Amino acid sequence: MSTTNLMSQTMLTKARDLQKEIVELRRHLHRYPELSFQENETAKLAAEKLQELGFAVKTGIARTGVLGEIGSGKKIAIRADMDALPVLESNKNKYVSANPGVMHACGHDAHVSCGLAAAKLLSGLDNLPGSVRMIMQPAEEDVDDESKSGALRMVEEGVMDGVSAVIGLHMDASLPAGKVAIMSGPVMAACDIFHITIKGKGGHGAYPEATVDAVVLTAQVINAVQQIVSRRIAATDPAVVTIGAIRSSSTRGNIISETVTLDGTMRSFTEPVRAKLFEEMEKACSIARVLGGDFKIEYETGYPATFNDSAVTQTMREVACELIGEDNVVILPPKTWSEDFSLLAQAAPGAFMFLGGEISGDRRAHHSPDFDIDESGLFIGPAILAETALRLMKK
């Protein structure tokens, strides 16, 4: 076995020794979840642990974020998001949320635990060949009153200044524990929200000829919207357009609607396709004007696609293969989830991996009230993060 492989296996052994600590911290955080930009106790805990490890710590970054730094030289950032979701947990385990209506339903409790374990592994090394910047990020799941997420706030406040590369992970409850997925290129989608108002002229249901029926206009618009992906986007370019809600100004069968509102989402993996979706949405809605009505579209521009840099990803993949074997390092199709790690990866080359946590025979869905994970492979995450950071410092 080469010297590099021996060193990486040592990192895995050290991480395995932290497994009990990682699980205990994950369960503590699961029991005490906090919503976006309210992660006060989580941030306090993270700051205290980083200080104990010798990191220089700054708090109050992007409101409730924490920044920890150790070492000098080439700077590699490791990011972990801290926020929970407004979900009422239905699990019956001992670490069920003690905050009714708030739940770690996407694995961010594990992200924090793995991030702090990676920090511990790196802080214990002699002669660190560079510097590590721990980004304990608030508000990945939501935005503030200025429509800014935690990652955007942190970038604006300079947390990526001087960073050569940024790495992170996300739990994947559909991937068996003990496996990781590491791919280059786009790995998670851009997400944009739209609100469409179709305007007609209301009236009595017995005299439709005197009206411009917004419901009929909407039916035509929906047909056109559903053809955007199938007829306007190349089959080789993945994209999703979903209308999830429809509301009419009329609630009676004999009243013709004045207006109908539609709410939906668009997902894409490249900026040209993303721009095309916006363009085609306008064209689809213009049918309402051709038929005598009108429309208005309001957008909530979300996170861009998460793009893994090829060189950083190659290093992470090499590390993972050495640590857990090539058979346990898989390639998955890009996920139509959306993540604001993408904003950090726009500021510096990045790599974002998926850490397996599927409960065998009882797979849980992310963002669901019964979400949970198989914790047996959690130590793999910090081992890969720490060893990847170490090698990136040396390159």
Of 303, 322, 358, 387, which is the active-site residue? Answer: 303
Instruction: Give the rounded percent of residues in the chain with a pLDDT score beyond 90.
Output: 97
Q: pLDDT tens across 24-71, in order?
A: 999 999 999 999 999 999 999 999 999 999 999 999 999 999 999 999
User: Which tens digit of pLDDT belongs to each residue from 89-124?
Assistant: 999 999 999 999 999 999 999 999 999 999 999 999
Specify the length of the chain in residues.
395
The tens digit of pLDDT for each residue in 281-310 reads: 999 999 999 999 999 999 999 999 999 999
| Res 387: pLDDT | 98
pLDDT at 335 over 90: yes
What mean pLDDT, rounded, does the chain reach? 96
What pLDDT, on the 0 to 100 scale, is given for residue 9?
72
- Domains annotated on the chain, with CATH: 3-188+305-394 (3.40.630.10), 190-301 (3.30.70.360)
Average pLDDT over residues 9-24: 95
- Confidence category of residue 5, pLDDT binned at 50, 70, 90: low
Active site residue 303: yes
This prediction's pTM = 0.93
Task: Tell me which of 141, 280, 358, 375 is the catalytic residue.
Answer: 375
Question: What pLDDT score was predicted for residue 220?
Answer: 98
